Structure 1
Amino acid sequence: MNEKIIGVLKFALVREREGMEFYRNKKNDMKTPNVREVFESLEEMERAHVNYIMELIENISRGDEISLVSIPSPSFFEKRTKEEEKGIAVDNIMGDLSVLRTAYLIEKDFADFYKEAANKSENAEIRKAFEDLSTWETEHKNTLLMVHNELMKEYWGDQGFAPLY
């Protein structure tokens, strides 16, 4: 049973490292200051997830009791204010929108993976760890969608376009 859990956690660890690297590599390419700031924060949050999962793997491998240390909810996202993105070229906004969409899909995949792992976990502590990870990734996903939608509206405004919905 522990081998199965460790296998799932090792897969999760690889995925979290990939997410961290994605944000690290993309943050400097972002032309929109808000997006760059979000990616910097997400890189740090994914790093915290990596450390959390590594600790879980170590505890389970040693046969220790699993102690769940909660990662605080990111106050950065709650306090973030919308900034005007004036002076940013339309092509740059479109590039940032594309990367934001990719980031959203990455976080959605993470959230779905952890939710499914939680649903399949028989151990209550492991289930709780996966549920926490799913919640954190869902928060990331929702924030990315919000930033994407704000930037899209800015782009539409720059283009003199207003959708019917």
Structure 2
Amino acid sequence: MKLDELLIIKQAIINEIEGYEFYEMAKNQADSEETKLALDTLAEEELIHSKYLKDLFDKIKDTDEEAFSLAFLADPPSPKIYDWNKYKFPKSSIAVSIYGTAVNLEKAAVEFYQNAKEESNHSEAKKLYDLLIKWERVHLEQFFKAYQINMEDWWTEQGFEPF
């Protein structure tokens, strides 16, 4: 059981690092300092989450079952909430690509943690997966809204109306 949880936490760390790298790349496509700052903050948030998960992994990898349960009690960082609609990219096609990819990354992460929760027999690990699902859903909802708005802008630019 513990090995399964450790493997899931390792994958969660990778997911957060991939998110960090993606938001760093997206930052380079932004055309306003405000957008760059928001994406930089989001990238840093992903690093904070990966550090939290790495610290958790390090606490539980060589411990007994009781210490394993206690390791999950640490207070994790919460995701920041942004209104991504106010952040701009040079072209709506870039915004649609970035937000669409972000939506897919966050959806995949939610599904990964939901599956991990369903397969786990450890109550504290299930609580961790609930927390990770919550983190990813916050981002998913934010990016999905921005994706929808930018998709409408893109269709309008292509001459497809009304919206």
Query: Which residue is 1:108 aligned to?
Result: 107
Matches within 5 A, 1:108-147: 108-147=107-146
Distance 1:15 1:73 in 2: 15
Deviation digits for residues 118-165 of structure 1, max 9, x if unmatched?
12111111110111001110111111011111222333445554347x
* In 2: Cα distance, 1:81 partner to 1:10 partner: 29
Structure 1 residue 36: Cα displacement: 4.2
Unpaired runs of at least 5, structure 1: none
Contact 2:109 2:136 in 1 (8 A): yes
What is the correspondence of 1:1-165 to structure 2 with a 5 Å cutoff? 1-31=1-31, 36-63=36-63, 64=67, 65-66=70-71, 67-74=73-80, 76-77=81-82, 80=83, 82-83=85-86, 92-158=91-157, 161-163=160-162
Query: Could you tell me how far apart the structure 1 residues matched to 2:61 and 2:10 are?
Result: 12
Distance change (3 Å), C-alpha of 1:93 and 1:25: same
C-alpha displacement at 1:53, in angstroms?
0.9
Checking the alignment, whether the CA contact within 8 Å between 2:35 and 2:87 is kept in structure 1 is: no
Separation in structure 1 between the aligned mates of residue 148 and residue 44 of structure 2, nearest angstrom: 23
C-alpha distance in structure 1 between counterparts of 2:46 and 2:57, whole Å: 16
Greater Cα offset, 53-62 or 32-41: 32-41
Say if 2:45 and 2:79, in contact at 8 Å, map to a contact too.
Answer: no
Deviations along 1:77-113, whole A, 9 cap, x unmatched? 2xx385496xx76xx2112211211111011101110
Structure 2 runs not aligned, ≥5 long: none
Note if contact 2:106-2:139 (Cα within 8 Å) is conserved in structure 1: yes
Q: 1:153 and 1:56 mapped to 2: Cα distance? A: 42
TM-score, normalization by structure 2: 0.81
Structure 1 residue 21: Cα displacement: 0.9
Aligned alpha-carbon RMSD (Å): 2.6
Q: Structure 1 length as normaliser, TM-score?
A: 0.80
Identity %: 25
